[in-house]
Structure 1
Amino acid sequence: MSLIVQKYGGTSVGSVERIKAVAEKVARFRQQGDDVVVVVSAMSGETNRLISLAQEMQETPDPREMDVLVSTGEQVTIALLCMALKGLGWEARSYTGGQVKITTDSAHTKARIVDIDEAPMRADLDAGRVVVVAGFQGVDEKGSITTLGRGGSDTTGVALAAALKADECQIYTDVDGVYTTDPRVVDGARRLSRITFEEMLEMASLGSKVLQIRAVEFAGKYNVPLRVLHSFQEGPGTLITLDEEDNEMEQPVVAGIAFNRDEAKLTVRGVPDIPGAASKLLAPIGEANIEVDVIVQNVAADGTTDLTFTVHRNDMDKAAAILREVAESLQAKEVTFDDKIAKVSIVGVGMRSHAGVASLMFNTLANEGINIQMITTSEIKISVIIEERYLELAVRSLHSAFDLDKEPEEE
């Protein structure tokens, strides 16, 4: 008998019929003798509806009251799912984040989990009940309702699995697993049977939208085996786990290719090449809560330097306005920007023990006439900034160059 935590997203519980289908799926696990804790999101479209109501009241809604409002979406789903389970003859009990005592900090709309009281859930499981918990929410030490940010139900699922020491946390979504890249871009994209936490974390941070980054971080920290599955199709999905169980020889050099279109590049030209210049340029960007990604600095022969960095495309105008002010005070020559760029990344733990990965990537792009504007690397990833118009060509050519369209050979 296993203890399984299952998370179902908004699409999976988007109608009464789909909630009934989820109940039937949960019932099959109970029939096998498994204990089940279910985490659910609000029905698809409901959170957006609630946000639009808030914006009719305030242009910038109060964060505390916003959390009170949007957390009601999940409350509807947990009650309906428990009713559906009871209709099938299975005892079930629903809990909001506050009732199950998911304690968070007080950062409204983007709170982080501090502690979970698993005792009430344990008592219900011991009594043979299915436990149904509202995802995406908790309560701070003052008793105020908090939410974990968009996609936070994934984090709730993983956190409950960690607290309960579950055998597996299953994330049900509208895809049947993690793919080598987006199947909508590459026809030959393959579903991976397994991927490491490290690889999944890089893929998620670099543009893959399958899982929330914080959920993967949490799973890796507490070693919670994660499995991504399709809500309405049977199949093994993709298991995300530590790589220690895998033989190094069996690790593919590159596990997948991630990409992100939401990039913009800003360059400050002719900055005096003096200590602290980069800090003076980037510190105000950070203070404005703008996240900087790739950074490249080039020193010219005339004693000046050019500093280029990327931000989210939505932050470009704000970042450019800040830079113009700072650049003027530093007597830099000009500030330029470009929002027609994209980031393409190759990811794989096998890169640690294989040489020539970067040269193959760069040669592949060169052969397609794709110019690399910026490069950043880590132990298990290489990211390049290119013109957005070449994005899909780059992804397809790299997918082929690293043989990601071929099934790995069995040992």
Structure 2
Amino acid sequence: MALIVQKYGGTSVGTTERIQAVAEKVKKFRDSGDDVVVVVSAMSGETNRLISLADAISKDPVPREMDVLVSTGEQVTIALLSMALQQIDCDAMSMTGGQVRILTDQSHMKARIQDIDESRMREALSAGKVVVVAGFQGVDEDHNITTLGRGGSDTTAVALAAALKADECQIYTDVDGVYTTDPRVVDSARRMEKVTFEEMIEMASLGSKVLQIRAVEFAGKYSVPLRVLSSFEDGPGTLITIDSEENMEQAAVSGIAFNRDEAKLTLVGVPDIPGVASKILRPISDKNIEVDMIVQNVGLDKKTDFTFTVHRNDYKKAKAVLEEVCEKLGAERAAGDNDIAKVSIVGVGMRSHAGVATKMFEALSDEGINIQMISTSEIKISVVIDEKYLELAVRTLHGAFDLAQEH
């Protein structure tokens, strides 16, 4: 008998029929003798509907009241799923974040979990019940409802699994696992049986949308075995687990991530003096704009070209800031390009394989794809290229590293 935490997202519980299908799936685990805690999101579209109601009332709603409002979406789902389970003779009990006692800090709309009291859940499990918990929410020390921000339900599931010392945390989505790259771009993309936390964190941060990075980080920190599965078809999914020497000896590259949402900015001809990087980036960060890749080239004339990337949504705002900085620093000009994309190869095996970067660059060169920027870490290499070459680059690299084959 195992203790399993399962999480079902908005599409998985998007209709009453889908909620009933989830109930049948949960009952199979319960009937086989497993203890089950289920974490659910709001029904698909429900959170957006609630936000639109708030927008119709107020241009600037108080964050505390927004949390009270949007948290009701998950409350609807836990009640309906509990009813569906009870209807098929599977005893169940719904709990809000507050009823579980998921204690968070006081940052409304982006709260962080501080502690979980698992005693009520254990009590219900001991009584033979399936516990159905509202994802995405908790309470602060003053009993105010808080929400966890983007990816909150995944984080709730992993946090509950850590608190309960669950045997596995299963994340059910509309895909049947983690793939070597997006199957919509590469037909031969392969579902991976296993991937390490490190690789998954890199892939999530580099554009892979299967799991929220925050939930993967949480799972890695508390060594919670995490499995990605499909809500709509049976299968083994992909297990995300701790690194091992066995993984280290496998192929250098495990997967390819990409991101179309990037824009590049360059300050040309900046005087190369100490502290110039902070003088460029400080005004950018003051506008709450996150910087991703950074490249600095110092010329023989003691002037530097300083290039960095930001999210495409921040491009216009960042360009305006950079033009002001250009004038202050006496640089030659501020340039920008929002028709770029980032492609990344990821794999823990890079630590023990030489020549990975060379192979990547040669494969792109053979296709006439020019690399504009390069960024590396121990287990990833990212390049910025023209967006029009993105899909060609992904297909080329997928073939070059033979990712369609099981290694």
Normalising by structure 2, report the TM-score: 0.98
Q: Partner of 2:10 in structure 1?
A: 10
Which whole-Å CA distance do the structure 2 matches of 1:345 and 1:337 have between them?
22
The 5 A counterparts of 1:366-381 are 366-381=365-380
Q: Is residue 262 of structure 2 the alignment partner of residue 263 of structure 1?
A: yes
SS of 2:342's equivalent in the other structure is strand
Report the alpha carbon displacement of residue 245 of structure 1 after superposing the two structures with TM: 6.6
Q: Partner of 2:88 in structure 1?
A: 88
Which whole-Å CA distance do the structure 2 matches of 1:52 and 1:265 have between them?
33
Report the alpha carbon displacement of residue 242 of structure 1 after superposing the two structures with TM: 0.6
Report the alpha carbon displacement of residue 58 of structure 1 after superposing the two structures with TM: 2.4
The 1:245–1:113 alpha-carbon spacing in structure 2 relative to 1, beyond 3 Å, is farther
Structure 1: give runs of 5+ residues left out of the alignment.
none
Amino acid at match of 2:327: E
The 5 A counterparts of 1:73-84 are 73-84=73-84
Q: Partner of 2:101 in structure 1?
A: 101
Maintained 8 Å contact 2:39/2:132: yes
Amino acid at match of 2:354: A
Q: Is residue 23 of structure 2 the alignment partner of residue 23 of structure 1?
A: yes
Q: Partner of 2:401 in structure 1?
A: 402
Q: Is residue 391 of structure 2 the alignment partner of residue 387 of structure 1?
A: no
Maintained 8 Å contact 2:67/2:108: yes
Which whole-Å CA distance do the structure 1 matches of 2:193 and 2:107 have between them?
37
The 5 A counterparts of 1:163-242 are 163-242=163-242
Which whole-Å CA distance do the structure 1 matches of 2:22 and 2:219 have between them?
24
* Structure 1 residues 237-282: Cα deviation after superposition (integer angstroms, max 9, x where no partner): 0000012273533x22111000000000011111111001110110
Q: Partner of 1:47 in structure 2?
A: 47
Which whole-Å CA distance do the structure 1 matches of 2:36 and 2:298 have between them?
59
Which whole-Å CA distance do the structure 1 matches of 2:245 and 2:5 have between them?
22
Which whole-Å CA distance do the structure 2 matches of 1:321 and 1:64 have between them?
33
SS of 1:132's equivalent in the other structure is strand
Which whole-Å CA distance do the structure 2 matches of 1:117 and 1:246 have between them?
36
Amino acid at match of 2:163: A
Q: Is residue 278 of structure 2 the alignment partner of residue 283 of structure 1?
A: no
Q: Partner of 1:307 in structure 2?
A: 306
SS of 1:166's equivalent in the other structure is coil
Which whole-Å CA distance do the structure 2 matches of 1:378 and 1:232 have between them?
36
Q: Is residue 90 of structure 2 the alignment partner of residue 62 of structure 1?
A: no
Percent sequence identity over matched residues? 75
Amino acid at match of 1:181: T
Which whole-Å CA distance do the structure 2 matches of 1:347 and 1:331 have between them?
39
Q: Partner of 1:354 in structure 2?
A: 353
Amino acid at match of 2:87: G
More displaced, 1-10 or 264-273?
264-273
Normalising by structure 1, report the TM-score: 0.97
Report the alpha carbon displacement of residue 407 of structure 1 after superposing the two structures with TM: 2.0
Amino acid at match of 2:82: C
Q: Partner of 2:336 in structure 1?
A: 337
Amino acid at match of 1:5: V
Structure 2: give runs of 5+ residues left out of the alignment.
none
SS of 1:351's equivalent in the other structure is helix
SS of 1:214's equivalent in the other structure is helix
Which whole-Å CA distance do the structure 1 matches of 2:153 and 2:219 have between them?
13
SS of 1:99's equivalent in the other structure is helix
More displaced, 166-175 or 263-272?
263-272
Amino acid at match of 1:390: Y
Report the alpha carbon displacement of residue 80 of structure 1 after superposing the two structures with TM: 0.3
RMSD, aligned CA: 1.0
Aligned residues: 407
Q: Partner of 2:291 in structure 1?
A: 292
Which whole-Å CA distance do the structure 2 matches of 1:7 and 1:82 have between them?
14
Moved over 6 A (4+): none
Which whole-Å CA distance do the structure 1 matches of 2:247 and 2:150 have between them?
36
Maintained 8 Å contact 2:248/2:348: no
More displaced, 329-338 or 378-387?
329-338
